[in-house]
Structures are given as C-alpha cells and as structure tokens.
Chains A and B, each alone.
Chain A
Amino acid sequence: MSKGKIIFSASIILTSFLLAPLSTARDTIEVVGSSTVYPFSTVVAERYGRASGKPTPKIESTGSGGGMKLFCGGLGTNYPDITNSSRRIKMSEFKKCQSNGVKGIIEVQIGYDGIVVANSVTAESMDLSRKDIFLALAAKVPGEKEGQLIDNPYSTWKQVNASLPDIGIEVLGPPPTSGTRDAFAELAMEGGCKKIDWIAALKKTDKNAYKQVCHTVREDGRYIEAGENDNLIVQKLEANPAALGVFGFSFLDQNADKVQGAKIESVSPTFESIADKSYPISRPLFFYVKKAHVGVVPGMKGFLKEFTNERAWGEDGYLAEKGMIPLPTEMRKAMAKNTLSLIPMTGQEALK
C-alpha cells in the first residue's frame, strides 16, 4: 500500500469514528455552575461514585450565571442536569428556563457560605463594621452636605473610622464576574450603605441610583481585582501585611496559620457564628435540578439522595468538614423531603 493510500484510508477511519459518538446516550450526570459550590458538589459526587460503583458525575465550574445559562438552554442530554449557584435563581433566568422548555426545576438549598475580610496573621487584627467597609471601598461616598456624593477621598483606615489603625486602604478581592463579589457587594457594601439614612431613603424613590451608590466599588487602585483564585489572594496577603483580602470562609479555614479573619460588627467569622447567622456577611448556597432528567440520566436519584443525606450535609457531615455551613436541622429535613419527592418550583416564589 502506498503512503497516499494510507493517508486516504486513515482519514476515512477518522471521519467514521468522529461521527460514531454522536448517537450515544449519556450515562454520566452533568453538573455545572458556581465555583463556590464546586468544592462541595465535587465531594458528594466522588463519594456517590465510589459507594455506588456507577460513573462519577462530571462537574464544571462555570460560575453561577454561566451555569444558569447552560442549564436553561433546554432539555435533553446536550444540556446539563444540575446547576450549582451561590445565589438564588433570578426571575429572568427562571423565565428563560420556562421558555426553553425547562419546566420542572427542583430548588435545593444546601447550606451557607461566609465571606471573610482577612489579613496576614503578622498584622494587627481588624474589627470592621459594614459601614467602614462601604466607606473604604465605595466609588462615591457621602460628602459633608446631605444628599451630596463625592469621589472616595479616604486613603487610610484611620480616616474612615478613628478607631481603626493608621494603614493605607489596600483590599484584594474577586472581580465582578464572581458570585463572591456579587454577594460581597450586596451583603457587606449595601449592608453598610443603608446605615446612612438619606441613602436608605433613596431606595424608595430611586432604586437604580441606590444600587449604583451602594454596589459600585472604587477603581482608583485601592480595591485590587485579584482574579478568581482565592489561594492567590492568601499568598499575596502573606507577603503584604498591610493588605486585606476578600474570599470565601473555606480558604480562611484551611489557612489559619497564614491569615486571620477580621471581625465584622465585632463578630469573628467562625463555623458557629455563620451557622447561627450572627456573622453578617453570609449567603445561602443552592443547586437546581431538572425534574425531567430524573430517571432519564441514570443515577440522578442516587446523587440527590447522597447530597441530602445527614452524613453529607448534616452538622457532622463531610461537607461541614470541607467548610460548608449546614442548614438548621428542621430546614434540612424539610428540604430533603422536598428534594427526594421531586417537588418543583411553582414560579410563585419571590425571586429577584
């Protein structure tokens, strides 16, 4: 056989094996979504795979918004079965799902995550209020007269609040694409922002302007977008004791010898304080399941059963070990029952 013939027949073989897998059905569960839920979802998937001997679910970390987009793309094996989210589904996303034929969506809240503001253990520990955080990081802050907004003039923490140390404001945090950033803006920045009376009043008259003021982070180099990699922020904090960092609680939990969490409103970020909600910057974590895929893609029920099992998401479960804060016992029971009997969302929920 000449070389030409070899090349020709090789390309025929290649084309045929290229087309072969297009018709095969999927036997692996596909999960997409939030990078915050990813570390928990993956643990459950792995345990489920090892215990059952079935294929381990495949999990992609696409971010909450990206996950919803894929999830709501449609029904069928070309679209994911489950999406993780570090915020509740939005009304617009729910409607998009419905219009693409994704009708029965089961909502599962799995627990909470705390967002911490931390600095190096070699530096002085901070005690911040949400108002301090807002004043230090907002693009525009209230001026001397009521109703007046000026470009953020503060360059040290002492200028923001006389009881804070005299060090320059330098905060490393996630970029706008991150769910952590959304939650930080909503819970920490807005939480501090509405302590200022006239801005809180603005919420009733001009909601957009209110959001603009409360959620916009300054861009003069005092807030540094450090990418989605929280390990990198920890490393930078270690090298620079003057800087503060914003990231998820599980990274603080793992690096307690390098970084310390600042107290927020005099509450330290600990497992207990996030669980009983006395720590103010925490958020719920969810995942969403397509009801129509249960029973079609093998193993969906088993995966849901593993996730909602006490040994997984309970107070002593392996997810708590990984840094997830469990739901209260009653809520867990109700949620597990709801999930396993596959009761979908009605569309009557108060979504944003």
Chain B
Amino acid sequence: MSKATEHLSKIKHSLAGRNRAEARFRWYGRIAIFIGLAAVAVLFGDIINKGHGAFRTTYINLDVSYDQDLIGVNNLADSEQLSAGNWDALTKSALRAKFPNISGRSDKRRLNNLLSNGAGFDLKDRLLESPQLLGKTESVWMLADDDIDTYYKSWLAGEAYAARLSDKQVIWIGELHQQGLIKLQFNSNFFMRGDSREPEQAGILGAAIGSFLTLIVTLMLSFPIGVCAAIYLEEFAPKNRWTDFIEVNINNLAAVPSIIFGLLGLAIFINFFHVPRSVPLIGGLVLTLMTLPTIIITSRAAIKSVPPSIREAALGMGASRYQVVLHHVLPLALPGMLTGAIIGMAQALGETAPLLMIGMVAFIVDIPSGFSDPATVLPVQIFLWADSPERAFIEKTSAAIMVLLSFLIIMNTSAVWLRKRLERRW
C-alpha cells in the first residue's frame, strides 16, 4: 500500500465520525434555540394569561336622575358649586332606587361599594359634556368597583373569588346579572387615563406620555451629541494616547450600572442646576448620560464600515475633509447610526433604576402635557402597580407589561427594518 491510499483510508474511516460530530453540534444548536424560545414563550404566556383580563372591565347599568337638589348644583358654569357638589349622592341614590328594600347602615355601605368611588365624578364629567341632562333621568353604564370586577370575572370563569365581598353583595350581583344589567366591556379607561389608586380607574396613558416625552429629550440630546463625538473621533481626531484614553472611558461608561447615572443626575442636575424633580426633562437628561456611550460606540462602528475608497475618491475630486464627511460618509453611515440610536432608546425605555433617584418613581395622576410637568414612565408604572396591595392590580401589572413589550417590539422591529431598507453592502 502506498502512503497516499493509506491517508485516503484514514480519511474514509474518520469521515463518519466527523459527520456525526457535526450532526451532534447541529442538534445542540437546535436545543439551545428551543430552550431560549421556550423561556420567551413561558414568559409571554404567563403575562398574557394574567393580563388579558385587564383589557375588559365590569360596568353596571343603572337609572341615574340628575337631581339638582341632590347634587347641590343648579348652575353648571359655577366652578365653586361644581367642586363642592355631592356627586357620590347620584350613584348612591341610583343604587338605592335599584335595590329599594335595603336598610341598615352596613348594608347601605355595602350597596354603595358596588360602584367605583370614581363613578360619581364620571357622572360629573358626563353632565358637563351634555348640560341639558340636568334635572333629567337616563340609564348609564357605570364603572364597577375593583372588588366587584375581580369577583365578576372570576365568577364568569367558573372559579368565583368572593373573599372581599359580603354574601349580600354576591346576591345583588347575581340579580343584576340575571337582568342583564352587569357586563364586561372594553376597558377604555386603561388607555385614556393616568394612574389611580383605584384599580378600575387606573390607566397607562400618563406613564406612556411620560415615557414618550422623556425619550424625546433623550433622543434630541444624545443623538446629535453622540454622532458629533463619533464623527470627530473617527474622522478628525489624531490617533494618540489621548484618544485611546477617551475610547477606553467611553467603553467603560457603556458598562456602568444605570443607578450610578441616577446618582450623578441627582447631584449635578437637581442639586446644582436646580432642575425640578420628577419631570421628563430631568429623566431625559439622565437617560442621555446613559445612552450616549451606546450611541457613540455604534456610530463609530457605522462610520468605520464605510469603505476608505469612498473617502479617497471624494478627496481626489478636491473635496475638503469636512465635505467628505458630511456629503459622503455621514449619509452612508446614517442607517447604522439610527439602528444604534433606536436600540439605545429601547434600552432607555425600559430603565427604572436611574429614575428612582430623581423622583420619577412617584404617584402621578395628571397626564403630563409638557417637559416640565411631573411625570412617570412605563416601567415605573409597572413597578408601582406590582407593589400595590389591591388584588386587581395584578392583572393591570401584566397588562402594562404587555404595553411596554409591544412598544419595545415596535422599536426593535423598526431598527431591523431600517437596517434592511437603508443598508448598503460593499
């Protein structure tokens, strides 16, 4: 046997083993992906399972008579009268009219507890919208209390949870159900209102707008600053010890825990510059500090990926360095920079730790209308609801997580789409 055939037979012998090794490795890869996907599926399944209920809420239909004497209001234009008005009397009398045979203080109180304690104020808003109703009677679907909501949902699902209700309340709800006067309806409050301590009135809009305003400040500050820094470092700065030192520091900053940026924000922006606490402006400033390194690093990578031949060609045509960068390099690197910025923003959207220090972890009911109105953000809202004793907040928490996740998915998908759309391969 010659040496060549000897080699050949060796190769033939080992071939099956090598193929098996590859097949095994492929399986390891598939299992790894399966484990990852299973974890995501369990997480999403759990959240959706817990949270889907929050998108519907219980309403009770009652005949409300807008009696002027009852509320103590005869002129709807008088704001003094309006704020002193006894709006709860409207809901109480409507309930009393529906269940006339109820006597005794504690039973009356239980009866009043069927409706949300914000239902009276909802009627006030309704009356201000259509003033001709004053003195008239109409049938209205009104928001039920969160305990009633929890009970009614669990009862419809076949496993009634009545620990917070009295036996009589359970009977009353049964009667209302038979008469078709209680129903589940799309929970528009959840998308139209700010935070509330009453789960049935709590909404995500305040936090969503707070997040939006905060991210605008972050984007408007961190993107131009980050891109300028990246362009200077890549295209103009001399390569020496100083720039190496700066590069090491930027990479370090990207890995600093975010709570540190919160402490920095507290010390510099609030204590030194006296920026007000709890506003989107201060939130945006702190998150800018946090996302800036990410944007600088991705922008530099995007600039680096523009081939030198482009620069050389432009220089050869007599363009200045400034023109080369602004007319040729920047447009080509922009998709990469935008992707980096979106990922940075998505990171900022999910942050709570740095906001703790600057007062954005707070109970804020009013929906912010500007950069200097008190506001909170989505992840903080999730944290606050998860910490609340009322059981109905459990499903609100999961629903808020779903809203946050859908924003994150939208942002990350648009990052992928932008890259696919605008990227040029060389």
Q: Which residues of A are interface residues toward B (Cβ below 8 A)?
A: 2-4, 7, 10-11, 14, 17-18, 20-22, 24, 26, 28, 30, 35, 38-39, 42-43, 45-47, 49-53, 55-56, 58-61, 78, 228-231, 248, 250-251, 253-257, 316, 318, 321-323
Contacts and interface: CB of A to CB of B under 8 A. Distances in A.
Contact of A78 (B196, B274, B326, B371): B274
- Chain B residues touching A, majority SS: loop
Nearest to A10: B224
Nearest to A54: B83
Contacts of A46: 196-198, 365
Contacts of A22: 273-276
A45 B364 CA distance: 10
Given A14-B221, A18-B281, A254 B164 contact: yes
B278 interface: yes
Q: Residue among B105, B109, B277, B363 with the most chain A CB within 10 A?
A: B363
A59 B383 CA distance: 15
A251 B390 CA distance: 8
A255 B163 CA distance: 8
A39 B388 contact: yes
Given A39-B197, A229-B387, 16 more contacts: A3-B326, A7-B228, A11-B224, A11-B225, A14-B221, A17-B371, A21-B275, A21-B276, A21-B372, A22-B274, A39-B388, A46-B198, A52-B83, A60-B362, A228-B387, A230-B387
B115 to A, nearest CB: 13
Contacts of B163: 256-257
A253 B277 CA distance: 34
A21 B281 contact: yes
Contacts of B121: 50-51
A45 B221 contact: no
A82 to B, nearest CB: 13
B191 to A, nearest CB: 19
Contacts of B225: 11
A53 B79 contact: yes
Interface string B49-85: 0000000000000000000000000000001001100
Given A14-B221, A58-B363, A231 B389 contact: yes
A28 B363 CA distance: 12
27 contacts: A2-B326, A4-B326, A7-B224, A7-B228, A18-B285, A22-B273, A28-B374, A30-B277, A38-B363, A39-B389, A43-B198, A46-B198, A50-B118, A50-B121, A52-B83, A53-B82, A59-B363, A60-B278, A61-B361, A78-B274, A231-B388, A248-B389, A254-B391, A257-B161, A318-B117, A321-B113, A322-B197
B111 interface: no
Contacts of B227: 7
Contacts of A78: 274, 276
Nearest to B79: A53
B220 to A, nearest CB: 6
A21 B274 CA distance: 10
Contacts of A321: 113
Q: Residue among A24, A56, A257, A316 with the most chain B CB within 10 A?
A: A56
Contact of A231 (B105, B197, B221, B386): B386
Contact of A45 (B79, B82, B83, B363): B363
A58 B362 contact: yes
A56 B364 contact: yes
Contacts of B359: 60
A10 B371 contact: no
Contacts of A255: 391
B221 to A, nearest CB: 6
Contacts of B275: 21-22
Interface in B363-397: 363-366, 371-372, 374, 386-391, 394
Contacts of B394: 231
B389 A253 contact: yes
A17 B285 CA distance: 12
B197 A26 contact: no
A49 B361 contact: no
Contacts of B330: 3
Nearest to B224: A7
Contact of B386 (A26, A47, A229): A229
Contacts of B221: 14
Nearest to B391: A254
A35 B361 CA distance: 12
Nearest to A247: B389
Contact of B389 (A14, A49, A257, A323): A323
Nearest to B279: A21
A281 B224 CA distance: 57
Given A7-B224, A60-B361, A254 B371 contact: no
A59 B360 CA distance: 10
Interface string B243-281: 000000000000000000000000000000111111101
Contacts of B390: 254
Nearest to B334: A3
A17 B220 CA distance: 12
A52 B117 CA distance: 15
A251 B387 contact: no
A3 B328 CA distance: 12
Nearest to B112: A316
Contacts of A47: 117
Given A22-B274, A52-B83, A251 B220 contact: no
B220 A10 contact: yes
A16 to B, nearest CB: 12
Nearest to A11: B224
A339 B118 CA distance: 27
A58 B372 CA distance: 13
B126 to A, nearest CB: 14
B83 A26 contact: no
Nearest to B276: A21
Contacts of A39: 197, 388-389
Contacts of B366: 49, 55-56
A23 B281 CA distance: 14
B42 to A, nearest CB: 17
B277 to A, nearest CB: 8
B389 A230 contact: yes
B164 A316 contact: no
A148 B11 CA distance: 79
A46 B365 CA distance: 7
B363 A250 contact: no
A78 B274 CA distance: 8
